């Protein structure tokens, strides 16, 4: 059963709750969108899913419906009460915690993986949450997330595309990412001001840059410096740390701009810095 718009509102009212903006609470009620997410994310019978921010449990129910097991992290104690009261969600392991701080090895025990993360993420912490999972939880092999459309475009962008920026490049150290769908604001209660996007993120078997060439911290430093002056040529934006000889040795043309570089090229530059 899906919580309709009216049922979602009634459930909140039953518990004396209203959506909290500070937790990015926009609840999904549209059956077509929920079915689309579950179909596109590709999880099925026996898969172990991690969900951040289950809210009232609408997406959770659909994930259970295809035979997945779900371990969910919710920050709002009021919603924890709702989730624990709903008999349809009895099989879900619910953690009352901040997904930014919770020990991911407890939520997703490494020896019992792999896991797939599927979530309609709170917009204010969506990007740091994605990066945290990629950095800290290798047992989570894929992420399928709904985020603000602008963020979705950035996460999914490839070199040379308008939306390609610092986070697009840094994500590609760990994973591939593709924007696979758009979702209108009208399928949420309350409706947010902007549309959303669905992004499929699949972890690479090995990081895109060999750690023997450069470590991730140095790569991120170079990426951040370069995109900090996005319109400038790399020879200008990186002049405090790299000289022309470094660009030559790394095989990167210093007159290029950061949006033209893939993560391997940033890795080669970071190798010179290191």
Give contact residues for ligand SAM (rule: CB under 6 A): 23-28, 52-55, 58-59, 73-76, 79, 98-100, 120, 122, 125
Instruction: Give least dist CB 149 to ligand SAM, A.
Output: 14
Q: Could you tell me the CA-to-CA distances from 104 to 97, 176, 202, 273 in Å, in that order?
A: 11, 21, 18, 32
In the complex with ligand SAM, which residue's Cβ is closer, 38 or 208? 38
Nearer Cβ to ligand SAM (47/259): 47
By C-beta, is 17 or 213 nearer to ligand SAM?
A: 17
Cα 128-39-150 angle, rounded to 5 deg: 35
The least distance separating ligand SAM from the CB of residue 239, rounded to whole angstroms, comes to 38
Residue 194 or 204: the one with the smaller Cβ distance to ligand SAM is: 194
Q: Beta-carbon neighbour count of residue 220 at 10 Å? A: 18
- CA atoms of 227 and 199, how far apart (whole Å): 22
Residue of minimal CB distance from ligand SAM?
53
Q: How far is the CB of 48 from ligand SAM (least distance, A)?
A: 18
Q: How far apart are CA 194 and CA 12, in angstroms?
A: 23
Task: Kindly tell me which of 138 and 192 has the beta carbon lying closer to ligand SAM.
Answer: 192
Q: By the 8 A CB rule, do 53 and 77 touch?
A: no
Helix axis angle, 263-273 to 216-228, nearest 10°: 110
CB-based contact 198:226 (threshold 8 Å): no
Retrieve residue 143's tokens.
Answer: 């992420």
In the complex, minimum distance from the CB of residue 19 to ligand SAM, in angstroms, rounded to a whole number: 8
CB of 241 to ligand SAM, least distance (A): 34
């Amino acid at each position: 059963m899906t919580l309709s718009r009216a049922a979602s509102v009634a459930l909140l009212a039953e518990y004396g709750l209203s959506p909290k903006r500070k937790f990015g609470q926009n609840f999904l009620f549209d059956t077509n969108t929920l079915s689309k997410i579950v179909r596109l994310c590709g999880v099925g019978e026996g898969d172990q899913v991690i969900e951040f921010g289950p809210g009232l449990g609408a997406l959770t129910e659909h994930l259970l419906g295809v035979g997945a097991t779900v371990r969910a992290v919710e920050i709002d104690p009021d919603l924890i009460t709702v989730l624990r009261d709903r008999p349809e969600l009895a099989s879900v392991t619910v953690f009352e915690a901040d997904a930014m701080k919770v020990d991911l090895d407890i939520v997703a025990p490494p020896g019992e993986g792999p896991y797939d993360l599927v979530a309609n993420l709170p917009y204010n912490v969506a990007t740091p949450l994605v990066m945290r999972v990629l950095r800290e939880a290798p047992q989570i092999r894929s992420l399928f997330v709904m985020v603000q459309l602008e963020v979705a475009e950035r996460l999914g962008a490839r070199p040379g595309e308008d939306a390609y920026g610092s986070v697009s490049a840094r994500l590609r150290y760990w994973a591939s990412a593709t924007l696979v769908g758009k979702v209108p604001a009208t399928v949420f209660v309350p409706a947010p001001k902007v549309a959303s996007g669905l992004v499929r993120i699949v972890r690479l078997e090995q990081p895109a840059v060999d750690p023997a060439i450069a470590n991730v911290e140095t790569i991120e430093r170079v990426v951040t410096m370069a995109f900090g002056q996005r319109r400038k040529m790399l020879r200008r934006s990186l002049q405090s740390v790299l000289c022309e000889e470094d660009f030559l040795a790394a095989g990167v043309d210093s007159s290029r701009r950061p949006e033209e570089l893939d993560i391997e090229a940033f890795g080669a530059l970071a190798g010179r810095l290191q």
